[in-house]
Structure 1
Amino acid sequence: MSQTPPDSSRPSSPSRRALLGGAAAATFALAATASGAGAAAAHAGRDRPGRPGRPSWPTDFPLPNGFRPEGIAIGGGPYAYMGSLADGAIRRADLRTGESRTVLAGATGGAATGLKLDRDGLLYISGGLSASIRVLDTRTNRLTATYQPTAAGFVNDVILYGDRAWFTNSHAPVLYAVPRGHRRRGDDLREVPLGGEWEQAPAGSISANGIETTPDGRALIVVNSPIGKLFRVDPKTGHATVITLKGAENVINGDGLLRVGDTLYVVQNRLNLITVFDLDARARTATLRRSITAPTFDVPTTAARFGNRLYLVNARFTTPPTPETTYNAISVPLR
């Protein structure tokens, strides 16, 4: 679970003023002390961030021109990892300052879409049209594993479930699973075909996109973007059943999924909208609670949580991508 960073925004108590003789001297000392305390508080507000959601934490995170962000992951510390659809590069941003740096360089033909960070510091990366799966050790910033599924496709998003990381393929009705941790086995890459009530879009179109777990921890949730449906998937068999939506007709353009307890956040990218649902334990039904939008949304794709805020990357799919196109990540209250 994400942790709230310690409150370091509180200025220290002003020093005890010296006793000065006379009423005028006392008045002067009081004024000077108040002025000094006010300046210290202002300085602390600028340079010593407090808890997420306070004004001292930035809500906008500029990224390099042409970066084309698609995925975001946050662990227990105040750091976000963001992946590039352009070349597969990974950047690490400090949520307290907004500053970011490259921790994994990109490569021609590479891509980084969905990201998930495990407790041991391993970052699982889906490779988009490169159809690859990579594992980055964020403590050393070195790749520890690379997988290449036999079928071509668009490896889109990832979730950590059980002893494996599970990935969607947007161009084929199949899920991929690779082992978590540093140990490798002979059956490292597992492929689980989707069946049951699953609906696959025509070849070349996006189908399976974001992926999450059910509140009871017994199954997966997968969103099908073009038809706007959520599916409950048995990870052992791949059997999919439609999740009944209550209060909403669909989740068209559903992209990243984020579950907090029994609350599911569905990022609907081109609608510039996050739809919030209440799930029952087995995720058989999803009841609309509310929606979130903001003027800073510019086709957000995926979301991650830290403290009382959601952090999203703006993929800007409606803006032509060029080497000079500007990109950013943003945050909004969890609400």
Structure 2
Amino acid sequence: MSVPARLVAPALATATLLICAAAMPAQSAGRPLPDRYVVSRAEGVLPEGIDVRPDGTMYVSSDGTGALYRGRVTAPRLRPFRADGATARGSSRGIHTDRSGRVFSVGGGRLTVHAPDGRLLDAEDAPDGPLGAADLNDLVVTPDAVYVTDWANPVVLRAPLHGGKVGPLEPWADVRGAFPGFPAQYWLLNGIVADPAGRTLLVASNGTEAVWRIDTATREVSRLDLGDTSFGADGMVLHDRTLYAVLNYGALHGVYIARLDAQLRGGTVVHRVTGDRFDLPTTLARHDCRLYVVNSQNDEPPGTPPYTVTALDDPECRANG
């Protein structure tokens, strides 16, 4: 989900509301939660993906080494997570868990599934795409499949789920038909989210500076209508009809929040949270009215330790009382 230094464009000015003041820390059992989490102090980690489970367990992936880290929202330090074989692929990007606590992650050309104790349960390799070797970026787990984006190819891949078992990872949707004539190598697919039923996917594309909607029954691809707003998101979270996205290309770096219509076909950007608290953010997670944003430092690898996650209050929770 990261943007190479050569692709990070100068920030564009915006006349829309900027929310730059630091959010007050949330409370847990009467104690304030940290507003910053240290993923690692080892050089070159370059954190990339994040998932926070309903019980407050946090997982973060490393684009720099492939390692996975685990912690709690109540504690400011994460620790290495065993994740057998994860470092062998050299990079881990998207990371998400399912209801049973299994840890799904992607990087390079491989999807892996780990048990909560770190045992490797499954590994599926992606075939080459129309432009060459796969470079997997993010994933979403639906009731019947795992969908994966490919940074290097304009293709969404799919691995079926049967009785908890993961099937082969295969090309599923070539998105080029939705934007004829756009150079294939610049689609740069990033974050991916789905509605709870798995009927609709939203796929971010840095290159097209847009989010694309895919109907999983028909594989029809259309552009999410956010008006004249350039919305080349990296990582995303979909909560009900609210889309949370991290932008780090073609806009001020930070968290952008849009309220969508019932069909997830369009919406309006209602919040922009930017400022120097972020250091090339790549994605985010949402838990109990708080947002957890990964500071990748991937614009200047190997970056400067410590590598962190920034936490802030969800402005949508405030807006809705």
> Would you call these one fold, judging by a TM-score over 0.5?
yes
CA contact (8 A) 2:61 2:69 kept: yes
Q: Report how far residue 71 of structure 1 moved.
A: 0.1
Q: Which moved more, 1:162-171 or 1:209-218?
A: 209-218
How far residue 249 of structure 1 moved from its aligned partner, in angstroms, is: 2.3
1:129-172: CA deviation from partner (whole Å, max 9, x where unpaired): x211011111x211100010111221101112221121111211
Partner of 1:143: 120
**What is the match of residue 132 of structure 1?**
110
Equivalent residue in structure 2 for 1:226, among 204, 207, 211: 207
Matched letter for residue 273 of structure 1: G
Query: Aligned equivalents of 1:178 and 1:230: distance in 2?
Result: 22
Q: Displacement of 1:318 after TM fit? A: 2.6
Distance 1:176 1:107 in 2: 22
Number of the residue aligned with 1:112:
92
Deviations 1:55-106 (A, max 9, x none): 6211111122321100000111111100000121110011101121111365
RMSD (Å), alpha carbons: 2.4
Residue number in structure 2 paired with 1:310: 291
Normalised by the length of structure 2, the TM-score is 0.79
Q: Which runs of 5+ in 2 are unaligned?
A: 1-25, 316-321
SS of 2:87's partner is coil
Residue in 2 that maps onto 1:256: 235
Distance in 2 of aligned mates of 1:104 and 1:245 = 41
**Aligned amino acid, residue 227 of structure 1:** T
Partner Cα distance (1:283, 1:276) in 2? 14
Aligned to 1:60: 36
Alignment of 1:177-326 (within 5 A): 177-180=158-161, 183-184=164-165, 187-195=167-175, 196-198=177-179, 202=183, 205=186, 207-214=188-195, 217-246=198-227, 248-252=228-232, 254-270=233-249, 271-321=252-302, 325-326=305-306
Q: 2-side partners of 1:282 and 1:112: how far apart?
A: 32
- Which has the larger displacement, 312-321 or 215-224? 215-224
| Match of residue 123 from structure 1 | 103
**Match of 1:77?**
55
* Greater RCO structure (CA 8 Å; 6+ sep): 2
C-alpha separation between the residues in 1 aligned to 2:89 and 2:271?
39
In the alignment, the residues of structure 1 paired with residue 187 and residue 79 of structure 2 have an alpha-carbon distance, to the nearest angstrom, of: 31
**CA separation in 2, counterparts of 1:334 and 1:219?**
24
> CA 1:188–1:216 in 2, change beyond 3 Å: closer, same or farther?
closer
Please tell me whether residue 95 in structure 1 is matched to residue 76 in structure 2. no
Runs of 4+ in structure 1 deviating by more than 6 angstroms, as ranges, are none
> 1:8 — aligned with what?
none
Cα deviation digits, residues 86-128 of structure 1 (max 9, x gap): 121110011101121111365354211011111101111011x
CA distance in 2, matches of 1:153, 1:200: 22
2:142 corresponds to: 161
Asked whether the 8 Å contact 1:215–1:280 carries over to 2, the reply is no
* Equivalent of residue 172 in structure 1, options 139, 153, 173: 153
d(CA) in 2 for partners of 1:241 and 1:278? 18
On the 8 A contact 2:51/2:59 being kept in 1, the answer is yes
Contact 1:314 1:330 survives alignment (8 Å):
yes
- The residue type equivalent to 1:97 in the other structure is A
Contact 1:215–1:283 (Cα < 8 Å) also in 2: no
Deviation at 1:217, TM superposition (A): 4.9
So what's the TM-score if we normalise by structure 1?
0.76
Q: Contact 2:47–2:294 at 8 Å: present in 1 too?
A: yes
**Larger Rg: 1 or 2?**
1
Cα distance change on mapping 1:328 and 1:201 into 2, 3 Å: farther
Structure 2 residue 312 is the aligned partner of structure 1 residue 332: yes
In 1, are the aligned partners of 2:39 and 2:79 still within 8 Å (CA)? no
Gaps of 5+ in 1: 1-48
SS at match of 1:63: strand
Does the CA contact (< 8 Å) of 1:62 and 1:327 recur in 2?
yes
The residue identity in structure 2 corresponding to 1:327 is: Y
Structure 2 CA distance for partners of 1:180 and 1:93, relative to 1, 3 Å: farther
Q: Deviations over 1:209-233 (max 9, x none)?
A: 1111247752101111122111111
